[in-house]
Amino acid sequence: MAEREPSESPTGPQAGRISQADIEVGRARIVRPDGSHDADAVPDLDDQQLQDLYRWMVLERTFDERMVSLQRRGELGTYASGRGQEASIVGSGYALEGDDWLLGTGREAAAMLLRGVSIRDLVLFWRGVGDAAKFMAEENAMIAISIGSQLPMTTGAAWGMALDDAESVVAAYFGDGATSTGTFHEALNFAGVLGVPAVFFCQNNQYAISTPFEKQTRAGTLAQRAVGYGIEGIRVDGNDVLAVYEAMREARALARGGTPAFVESVTYRMDAHTTSDDPTRYRDESEVEEWERRDPIDRYEAFLRSKGLFGEVDREGIVEEVEAEFRAGLEAADDYPEGDVEAVFEYLYAELPPNLEEQLAAFEALLEERPEINDYIERRPKG
């Protein structure tokens, strides 16, 4: 195949060169940090939908706080909080449509709840109950813990949608750290070649665990990488829920039209990477305080007040409602049946092969002979 060449390409000693200095990528924004906004840029959402976005942001924060508390009490193994990223999580999730898929990393609870995932199943997932992944998949929402591992599958699933002439897209959620993996390159390159309906949504929260953004790449932005793959790049203020919503809507439309999109949502992780992490070892408190002054919920509240829409909003009532939903979900998770020993052997083969049948029979015989062993088997992980 002949090399593609622009019809009118410049010539001379400087021709054929590009550098970081040639690339300037801004940041899409509708609501400024003080709540003021560009009225013409506000999305076409009715008053109820604008207020609904606020409720989902408060839900995300309340859910994260309750999950962290559960972990501290020893009822979860670990948890990845999205505190500070509420606008990024909710704005993007709100823009997805009915049959779209969401392949996430665990730091997008509200977006998954918007897809129909239950609080019970999110609690079960973070307790290590394998059935939770199956239940989430029934809502076309899944979590990949291994960084970047879901990205090639995003391209593959989107290719399948294209072959089926489906009207949906696959949205992959990941952090800035995933952009430093080989799977990121493979997924975006292949997506661009195939023109699949995929949206790659990166929450650039400034840290890949303990590695700051500036130590991951020399590029000025992540969004500019899209150009190298021949797809569309969008860079948005990730603390502006309306701008994120618009960015995801645009990205989704592009993907449906045959051009995959990569969205860089610039935000900040105010909590630890997970509850197993100590962020005081690698970042200054003054930095966190600076970002807390840019709180996305406070910003959006200021916007609603300026529009005369906050008078009907009861934040305390929303929190009470969410806490009641959380308690019900937690109770359902606590009531989930304990696993039997057979579960160790399930999901490997359609039919259990003879050697595993022998192992299962031997295991069951051992438990019958020495029932005290049951005291050391954790049948429903909680921590």
How far apart are the C-alpha atoms of 249 and 233, rounded to whole Å?
13
Catalytic hit among 72, 73, 282, 327: 282
Catalytic hit among 55, 273, 299, 300: 273
- Known catalytic residue at 218: no
- Known catalytic residue at 27: no
Catalytic hit among 225, 235, 249, 269: 269
- Known catalytic residue at 282: yes
- Selection from 94, 88, 97 nearest residue 105 by Cα: 88
Residues taking part in catalysis: 269, 273, 282
